[in-house]
C-alpha cells in the first residue's frame, strides 16, 4: 500500500490542494495581465475597433477579478472542511436524523443519502450568492443576462427536483452494487457507469433540456436548405433541425449536434442567428460535423470509460484501507465516504488526466476546423464566423500560453485562425 508523503493522508491532500491553488492563481494572474495589456491583434484589425476591445477587456477583467475571490473562498472552504473534520460531523448528524425516524447505522445506503442531502444543501447555500452575483451583476452589467429572478428561481427548483429524482436512485444502485459484488465491484460499477452515460445521452436532450428551453423547428427557407445540403454532402443522417430560445436567459451563442444512430439532430441558439450570417452558420456547423465525421465523441467517450475503469480499479484497493478513514477523522468505513476520501487523494492524478484531456480535445478541435476548411471548403466563412462569435460574446482574444494549455479545451481564437489559414494554404499548394 502506498504511504502518505507527510505521514497523514489528510495533510497530503491539504498540501496538494494548496499547491494546485497557488499554481492556478499564478497562471490566472498571467492571463489577467494579458487581458489588461491587450492590443488589437493583427489578425483582427479589420474586425474589431478600440471601443469593442475595451468592452471585451472590461468583461474579462470583471470575470477574472470575481474568480480570484471565489477561488480563494473555495480554497478556504475545502481546507476548513478537511482540517476540522467536517465530513465526519455531517456523517454523525445524518445518523442522528436516521435514529429519530427509527433507523440506525445498519442502513448504510439510507444514511449515505441523508449525508449527501445535507452536504448538497450546505454546498448550495454557499454557492448561491456567487452565482447570483455572477448572473445578475456581472452578466447583466455587460449585457448578457436576460434571466429574470422568477425564471432563475424556477430553474433552481427544477434543478433540485431533478437532482433528487435521478440522484437518489443512482447513488443507491451505486452503493448496492459495491455492497453485493465484493472485491470485483470495480468491473460491475464500470458497466453500470457506462449504461448511465448512455442513458444520459438519450434522456438529457430529449426530456431534461426541454424542461428549461423551448425547441422550435427551424423555419423553411434558405438557411434550412443550406444546412440540409451540407449535412447530406457528408452523409450526416439529419432528422430534425431546431432553434432553441437561449436568449431568454443569456446573450451568449452556440450550436451543437446530438442524437444516436440514424436519429441525428442539429440545434442552433437563437442568439447565434442574430450574430452571424447563413454562410457562417453553415461553416460553424461544418466544424461540428467534423467532430462527427472523425468520431470525436466516440473517442472521448472511450477515453472517459478508460478513466472510469482506472478510478474504480484503484478505489477497489483502498476501499477497506482503515488508515485512510482514520486520517480524515472517521471511525467507520462507509462506502460513500470511502469514495469521497479516495477522490481527495486521487486529485493529483485527476488534475493530470484533465490536462491530458485538454490536449486531446484541442487536437480534435483543430481536426474539426480542418474538416470545415478543407473538406467543406469553408475556410473564409469559418474564420469570419468564429471572429464574430468571439467578439459578440466578449471572449478572450489574447490568451497566455500557460493559461490556455492548462484550462482550454479549445485552441484560442488566434491559433485557430492561423491553423485554418495554414490548412487553406496547404490545400491550394496541392491543387497547384
What are the chain's domains?
1-84+276-432 (no CATH), 213-270 (3.30.2010.10)
pLDDT at site 93: 95
Q: pLDDT tens digits for 147-161?
A: 999 999 999 999 999
What does the pLDDT read at residue 7?
A: 65
Mean of pLDDT over the chain:
92
User: Does 287 count as an annotated binding residue?
Assistant: yes
Contact 412, 399 (CB under 8 A): yes
Mean of pLDDT values over 381-389:
94
**C-alpha grid cell for residue 391?**
467578439
Mean pLDDT of all residues in 247-272: 87
Look at residue 429 and tell me whether its pLDDT is greater than 90. Answer: no
Q: Is pLDDT above 80 for 304?
A: yes
228 in active site: no
Place of cell 484589425: 45
pLDDT at 2: 61
Residue 365 annotated as part of some ligand binding site: yes
Strand ordering across the sheet containing 238-244: 215-217, 238-244, 264-269, 255-258
In the three-class reduction of DSSP (H, G, I as helix; E, B as strand; rest coil), residue 255 is classed as: strand
Q: Is the pLDDT of residue 140 over 60?
A: yes
Residue 105 pLDDT > 80: no
Helix (H) or strand (E) holding 161: helix 149-181
**Residue whose C-alpha is closest to residue 334's, from 120, 7, 116:** 116
Quick count: other Cβ atoms within 10 Å of Cβ 327?
A: 21
For 339-349, how does the pLDDT look when each residue is reduced to its tens digit (9 = 90+)? 999 999 998 88
Cα separation of 223 and 257, whole Å?
16
pLDDT confidence of residue 259: 82
Residue 278 has pLDDT above 60, yes or no: yes
pLDDT band of residue 3 (cuts 50, 70, 90) is low
CB count, 10 Å around CB of 238? 19
Q: Report the pLDDT value the prediction gives residue 432, as an integer from 0 to 100.
A: 60
pLDDT digits (tens, 9 = 90+) for 21-80: 999 999 999 999 999 999 999 889 889 999 999 999 999 999 999 999 999 999 999 999
Locus of grid cell 479516495: 342
Q: Give this prediction's pTM.
A: 0.90
Higher pLDDT, 129 or 1: 129
Per annotation, catalytic residue among 369, 370, 400, 415: 369
Of 260-269, 291-300, 403-412, where does mean pLDDT reach its minimum?
260-269
The residues with which 301 forms a beta bridge, in sequence order, are none
The Cα–Cα gap between 13 and 82 comes to 9
Q: Return the C-alpha cell found at 57.
A: 477587456
Q: Is the pLDDT of residue 312 over 90?
A: yes
pLDDT, average across residues 189-203: 92
d(CA 387, CA 92): 54
The pLDDT of residue 52 is: 92
In this prediction, residues 283-304 reach a mean pLDDT of: 93
The model's pLDDT over 353-370, given as tens digits with 9 standing for 90+, comes to: 899 999 999 999 999 999
How much is the pLDDT for 327?
A: 94
Share of the chain above pLDDT 90, in %: 81
In the structure, what pLDDT confidence band is assigned to residue 415 with cuts at 50, 70 and 90?
very high
Residue 71 appears among annotated catalytic residues = no
At 132 the three-state DSSP class reads helix
Residue 65 CB partners (closer than 8 Å, separation 6+): 32
Given 288, 370, 400, 415, the catalytic residue: 288
Please say if the pLDDT value at position 1 is more than 60.
no
Give the pLDDT of residue 29.
97
Amino acid at each position: 500500500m502506498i504511504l502518505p508523503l507527510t505521514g497523514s493522508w489528510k495533510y497530503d491532500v491539504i498540501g496538494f490542494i494548496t499547491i494546485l491553488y497557488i499554481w492556478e492563481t499564478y497562471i490566472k494572474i498571467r492571463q489577467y495581465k494579458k487581458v489588461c495589456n491587450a492590443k488589437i491583434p493583427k489578425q483582427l484589425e479589420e474586425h474589431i475597433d478600440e471601443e469593442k476591445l475595451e468592452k471585451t477587456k472590461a468583461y474579462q477583467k470583471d470575470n477574472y477579478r470575481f474568480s480570484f475571490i471565489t477561488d480563494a473562498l473555495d480554497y478556504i472552504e475545502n481546507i476548513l472542511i478537511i482540517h476540522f473534520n467536517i465530513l465526519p460531523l455531517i456523517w454523525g448528524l445524518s445518523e442522528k436524523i436516521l435514529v429519530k425516524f427509527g433507523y440506525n447505522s445498519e442502513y448504510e445506503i439510507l444514511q449515505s443519502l441523508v449525508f449527501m442531502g445535507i452536504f448538497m444543501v450546505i454546498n448550495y447555500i454557499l454557492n448561491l450568492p456567487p452565482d447570483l452575483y455572477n448572473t445578475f451583476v456581472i452578466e447583466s452589467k455587460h449585457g448578457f443576462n436576460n434571466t429574470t429572478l422568477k425564471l432563475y428561481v424556477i430553474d433552481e427548483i427544477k434543478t433540485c427536483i431533478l437532482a433528487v429524482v435521478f440522484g437518489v436512485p443512482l447513488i443507491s444502485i451505486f452503493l448496492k452494487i459495491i455492497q453485493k459484488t465484493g472485491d470485483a465491484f470495480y468491473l460491475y460499477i464500470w458497466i453500470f457507469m457506462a449504461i448511465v452515460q448512455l442513458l444520459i445521452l438519450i434522456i438529457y436532450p430529449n426530456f431534461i433540456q426541454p424542461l428549461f428551453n423551448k425547441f422550435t423547428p427551424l423555419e423553411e427557407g434558405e438557411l434550412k436548405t443550406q444546412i440540409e445540403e451540407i449535412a447530406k454532402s457528408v452523409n450526416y443522417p439529419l432528422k430534425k433541425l431546431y432553434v432553441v430560445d437561449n436568449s431568454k436567459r443569456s446573450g451568449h451563442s452556440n450550436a451543437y449536434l446530438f442524437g444516436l444512430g440514424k436519429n441525428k439532430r442539429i440545434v442552433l441558439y437563437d442568439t447565434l442567428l442574430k450574430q452571424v450570417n447563413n454562410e457562417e452558420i453553415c461553416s460553424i456547423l461544418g466544424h461540428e460535423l467534423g467532430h462527427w465525421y472523425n468520431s470525436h465523441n466516440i473517442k472521448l467517450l472511450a477515453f472517459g470509460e478508460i478513466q472510469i475503469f482506472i478510478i474504480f480499479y484503484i478505489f477497489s484497493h483502498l476501499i477497506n484501507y482503515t488508515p485512510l478513514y482514520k486520517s480524515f477523522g472517521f471511525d467507520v468505513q462507509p462506502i460513500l465516504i470511502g469514495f469521497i476520501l479516495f477522490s481527495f487523494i486521487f486529485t493529483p492524478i485527476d488534475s493530470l488526466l484533465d490536462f491530458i484531456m485538454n490536449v486531446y480535445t484541442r487536437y480534435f478541435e483543430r481536426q474539426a476546423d480542418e474538416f470545415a476548411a478543407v473538406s467543406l471548403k469553408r475556410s473564409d466563412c469559418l474564420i469570419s464566423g468564429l471572429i464574430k462569435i468571439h467578439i459578440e460574446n466578449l471572449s478572450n482574444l489574447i490568451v497566455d500560453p500557460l493559461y490556455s494549455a492548462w484550462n482550454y479545451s479549445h485552441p484560442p481564437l488566434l491559433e485557430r485562425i492561423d491553423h485554418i489559414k495554414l490548412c487553406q494554404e496547404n490545400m491550394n499548394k496541392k491543387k497547384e
